[in-house]
Chain A
Amino acid sequence: DAKTTQPTSMDCAEGRAANLPCNHSTISGNEYVYWYRQIHSQGPQYIIHGLKNNETNEMASLIITEDRKSSTLILPHATLRDTAVYYCIVNTGTASKLTFGTGTRLQVTL
Chain B
Amino acid sequence: DAGVIQSPRHEVTEMGQEVTLRCKPISGHNSLFWYRQTMMRGLELLIYFNNNVPIDDSGMPEDRFSAKMPNASFSTLKIQPSEPRDSAVYFCASSKGGRVAEAFFGQGTRLTVV
Contact = CB atoms under 8 A, between A and B. Distances in A.
A16 to B, nearest CB: 27
Given A43-B93, A43-B107, A44-B105, A94 B99 contact: yes
A45 B101 contact: no
A91 B100 contact: yes
Interface in B37-69: 42-43, 45, 48, 50, 55-56, 59
A45 B100 contact: no
B107 A49 contact: no
B106 A96 contact: no
A44 B33 CA distance: 13
Interface in B69-114: 91, 93, 97-108
Contacts of A32: 101
A97 B48 contact: yes
A98 B105 CA distance: 12
Closest 7 CB pairs of A and B: A43-B105, A95-B98, A100-B43, A46-B102, A97-B45, A43-B91, A44-B105
Interface of A: 32, 34, 42-46, 49, 91, 93-102
Given A46-B104, A49-B101, A95-B55, 12 more contacts: A43-B4, A43-B93, A43-B106, A44-B43, A44-B93, A93-B99, A95-B31, A95-B100, A96-B100, A97-B33, A98-B33, A98-B103
